[in-house]
A and B are shown apart, each in its own frame.
Chain A
Amino acid sequence: MNDIRTIALVAGVLLLLSVVTGVGQFLKRHPDRGIDAAAVRTFNMRIRGWWVLCTVLAAAFWLGSTATVILFGCVSFWALREFITLTPTRKGDHRALFWVFFLFTPLHYVLVGLNRYDIYSVFLPVYATLFVLARAAVAGDYKRFLERTAKIQAGLVVCVYCLSFAPALLELQVDGGPERVSELGSRDANFRLLFFLILLVQFADCMQYVWSRMLGQNLVAAAVSSNRTWEGLLGSATSTALLAAVLWWAAPPFQPWQAAIVGLVVAIVGFAGGMTMSAIKRDRGVKDYGTLVVGHGGVLDRIDSICFAAPVFYHMTVLVIGG
């Protein structure tokens, strides 16, 4: 960590986390402030989650980009487990699923680690999809064929393909260009970019909740989510754009106005991710397999917004560096 901006970013985040931890503990000790005790508990759990996230990211940074790719690979693997567990498949999908878990997912992350964008950008959406279709057909079970294969494909795209664009940020490199852009390719700069994405997504989630609580009137889709409102979305998109613009210096290659647009888009796309996962859980009736992931907290619940935001963020970055 030899970069003044990295130090500033880390220090800022640590300070912010310490402050919210202090606030959380204060609210816990003073239950007479008129704030709902359950909300305080959720808040404190969220803060603990952020500390864990920051520790893991710090460890990943310290261990280097290969370790980070492996870490995200493990998260994808676990999220896919939850996704497939939640969606019913038939026995005819068994062999296809075996290869999905033990060949396609690891191999995709190997390609990400090798920075072979030309291959990994089509490997899962095209080749894994074709394989899953063909393997299920060969297995000889045609019942609800498209439905089953679509489920597996959706799981692969959301949990593995999309999420892998987050660690793929670490492999971005630029030759020449203005200083702001050519900074990419150094470990510090790329890690800051990844951290910027995660920070924006977490912040947007949080703001969504806060604005919905304060001003929320109109639910986006009452049947899918009972706490996501249009006001929350608007507030979260604006606040995130503002934060991104303020933190623009941390995230190469963006200029302040570019960072603001990125923040806005990340907030909206992350919101879409949360809604999508809610819809899937609603369809399955959360209670169904909710018990299965109890104690693990549900990795999928934590990463749904990142999964949706990562590819968009990645491609906006590529657009800006003109690659």
Chain B
Amino acid sequence: MLAPADMPTPPLDQPASRSTLCKITGLGLAGLARLLAGASIRWIASQPDTCQRVYFANHTSHLDALLIWASLPRRVREITRPVAAKDYWSRGALRRWLAEEVFNAILIDRTDIKVHQSPVDLMLRQAGSTRSLIVFPEGSRSTSGEVGDFKSGLYYLAKKRPEIELIPVHIDNLNRVLPRGEFLPVPLLSCISFGPPLWLERDEAKLDFLARARRAVLSLKE
């Protein structure tokens, strides 16, 4: 597997290259999402920053990525790319335009994972050395409202780029705003909590790390 330094320089699209329409749509959607989901945003022992980070959160609703993205201050938002499922976000021209141009998302093909082209490598290449990512380590939305076990992607991400800050994010009540299988939202109040960064410890086992990361998300619930 290639080390990040050996990779060819990725074609990074700078914020300036995005059209005005995309920017306005982005601002509008961010505002609308925050309003509709009545989101209160909390930073617990943590501060918004433009350094390179990976935000990892529990996954309860299609609105999750949009709302975390919208909860970040504008300057942070511009360098942050949600990681989203290709099968959902590339269906239809509007959705694809929103995902690729407005949210600047990294679309991952969940059905066709190749060994030499793992999603983690793809994410890291797209992130380069400046962009932050929003990931959902559970892989798919939980139906019960409980936070499921984390898949190993977060571990490999942390192992390959140990210097990136991993920020736990807890999303509360958004599964009631837009539950799985629904397309019309109910405007209840939700809460997005950002926690203090964590890193992969030296010699930390994969399962230990994943359990610790999951606990970090859960601890933000209160």
Residues of A within 8 A of B (CB): 77, 81-82, 84-85, 89, 91, 94-95, 97-98, 101, 287, 289, 291-296
Contact = CB atoms under 8 A, between A and B. Distances in A.
Interface size class of B (residues with CB under 8 A): 10 to 19
In terms of DSSP, what is the predominant structure of the interface of chain A? helix
The winner among B176, B186, B189 for most chain A CB atoms within 10 A is B186
Given A81-B38, A94-B179, A289 B186 contact: no
Given A91-B182, A94-B186, A289-B189, 4 more contacts: A85-B176, A95-B182, A98-B184, A291-B40
Nearest to A96: B186
Given A89-B176, A292-B172, A81 B187 contact: yes
A91 B186 contact: no
Nearest to B193: A291
B88 to A, nearest CB: 19
Contacts of A291: 40, 42, 191
B182 A293 contact: no
A281 to B, nearest CB: 15
Contact of A98 (B40, B186, B222): B186
Nearest to A292: B189
B179 A81 contact: no
Given A85-B173, A91-B179, A94-B182, A295 B40 contact: yes
B187 A82 contact: no
Interface of B: 38, 40, 42, 172-173, 176, 179, 182, 184-191, 222
Nearest to A92: B179
Contacts of A94: 176, 179, 182, 184, 186
Contacts of B40: 291-296
Nearest to B42: A291
Contacts of B189: 81-82, 85, 289, 292-293
A296 B40 CA distance: 9
**B38, B40, B187 pick with most chain A CB within 10 angstroms:** B187
A292 B190 CA distance: 7
A85 B188 contact: yes
A84 B190 CA distance: 12
30 contacts: A77-B187, A81-B38, A81-B188, A82-B189, A84-B186, A84-B188, A85-B173, A85-B176, A85-B188, A85-B189, A89-B176, A91-B179, A91-B182, A94-B176, A94-B179, A94-B182, A94-B184, A94-B186, A95-B184, A101-B187, A287-B222, A289-B173, A291-B40, A291-B191, A292-B38, A292-B40, A292-B190, A292-B191, A294-B40, A295-B40
Contacts of B179: 91, 94
B172 A97 contact: no
B219 to A, nearest CB: 14
A97 B177 CA distance: 10
A272 B162 CA distance: 59
